[in-house]
Amino acid sequence: MVVNFSPSPSSIFAAYASLSAFVMLLQTMLNQVIPRQVQNYIWSFIQSYLRTIPSNATIIIEERDGMSGNEVYDAAEIYLSTKIRENIDRLKISKCHKDNDFSVKFAQCQKVVDIFEGIELEWKFVYEERKKSPNVIDGDTNHYLSMSEKKYFELSFHKKHKDKVLDLYVPFVLEKANSFRAEKKIVKLHTLSCHLSSITWDSINFRHPSTFNTLAMDTKIKKDVIADLEKFLQRKEFYKKVGKAWKRGYLLYGPPGTGKSSLIAAMANYLKFDIYDLELTNIRHDSDFRKLLLRTSNRSILVIEDMDCSVELPNRNGPMCVDGLGQARPRDNHTQFSLSGLLNFMDGLWSSCGDERIVVVTTNNKDKLDPALLRPGRMDMHIHMSYLTRDGFKLLVSTYLGNQGYHERFEEIEESIESMKITPAEVAEELLKIDDLDTSLEGLVNFLQCRRIENNMTKDKEIEENEVHNVKRLASDDTDI
């Protein structure tokens, strides 16, 4: 048996009539109790209140987060560069030498609309200029705030989509930006630039052609360096597990012309890491040093070249100088920063500010460096850049002259290279002069012969000077007796 509980049409009509009668009665009572003017005021107030309740939410994405850069801002700038051509009439474009394409950016405060999974999102680029104001650092009023402008994005959308925007859209923008970077990655060389007594980073595209395939260094050392770099890249979770900052330090030492700078360039090209060339003589305070380091990006190489020549850092209290009485005392802190500032970046608290970083220090004389800089955790791998070897010579001939086989001059040249201290730079300079293989090798033989004569003359002169010195010393001893 089926029981039908649906109401009949007559009962529905009766209920509707009762409800209508009740509403009319209520309206009549309100009109009698509340004047028409008061009703209009109450209704207009309710409408205005409903209009003031915002329906949109806005996210502010600033260029900097304190002293550090904002990765979300960088990602948004890259992502929107693919959108602004369609929506913006006023653009700013730039192209550096040897770039395959030009970059497109906002020229002024403008808006771009994006659609993500049916959600309409409005991006607004905002640029504000600031007046520079003095900033007292360590009692020195000559420093100025380096930030003379403020740039940020405003991302607006209906507030009901807030969770979806934060959980899905923002990660989508980050992922897209990383993809664009990988496709058009251009290694940058950053150098220090002084503006109104403040120090900032300026950059240019890094186009150094050096690679591990063209690097004339010991084959085994080269393989060890490549293997160490690969291992470093793959150990993010390991560094996190053991509680260490994800960075690696390399000390390159050896005579001038042995390829230290070329090795740094090869590392940058191999890893696709930006290079930050840190000139220590331009840094006056530890606070400046920390700010500069915080403004370096992840996946970068920080280079300190010629550490033994660039700046004196004999102790943790800062540079020392000799006063009029011949006593060593700390140098005025306006001159240079302290060794402790550098060590703190190597493995102190400040070392954790940034991931996937490589620090390279070069020196001509390893013994002149403070031992505190050389221990593991600061300089993890010491690489000796030696004079040219047989394998290095053959690689240079292959690179510069295209010869892959044997030549009758090879044995003579290799014997001369082994018996003398010849740098890869010297041989490369000779091979660069002439393209013809035979003529070029003939010129190299003549160069090596001349170098041998010069070395012999130098040795003879040193022997003669030593003999004269010994004679004078013996004469002095006889006089004393």
Instruction: Calculate the average pLDDT of the chain.
Output: 79
- What's the Cα-to-Cα distance from 236 to each of 75, 300, 382, 409, rounded to whole Å? 22, 15, 22, 49
Q: Which pLDDT belongs to residue 480?
A: 57
Q: Which pLDDT belongs to residue 382?
A: 94
Low-confidence ranges of the chain (pLDDT < 50): 1-3, 135-147, 314-335
Tokens of 146: 């380096």
Tokens of 140: 């020195």
Q: Which pLDDT belongs to residue 168?
A: 94
Long-range contacts of 312-316 (CB under 8 A, 24+ apart): 312/336, 313/338, 313/339, 313/342, 313/370, 314/339, 314/370, 315/339, 315/370, 316/340, 316/343, 316/372
Domains of the chain, each with CATH number or no CATH? 56-184 (no CATH), 204-320+328-384 (3.40.50.300), 390-465 (no CATH)
> pLDDT tens for residues 326-359?
444 444 444 456 777 777 777 766 666 778 889 9
The angle formed by the CA atoms of residues 303, 308 and 313, to the nearest 5 degrees, is 90
364 and 306 in contact (C-beta within 8 Å)? yes
Sign of the C-alpha dihedral computed for residues 429, 433, 436 and 440 taken in this order: negative
Q: Is 23 exposed, middle or buried (0-12, 13-18, 19+ CB in 10 A)?
A: exposed
356 and 298 in contact (C-beta within 8 Å)? yes
Q: Which pLDDT belongs to residue 374?
A: 85
Q: Which pLDDT belongs to residue 310?
A: 59
d(CA 303, CA 208): 15
pTM: 0.64
Read out DSSP for 378-447?
A: TS-EEEE--S--HHHHHHHHHHHH---S--TTHHHHHHHHHHS---HHHHHHHHTT-SSHHHHHHHHHHH
The amino acid at residue 40 is N
Q: What is the DSSP letter of 132?
A: -
Q: Which pLDDT belongs to residue 137?
A: 44
Q: Which pLDDT belongs to residue 101?
A: 64
Q: Which pLDDT belongs to residue 18?
A: 77
Tokens of 318: 């800062």
E strand or H helix at 301: strand 300-304
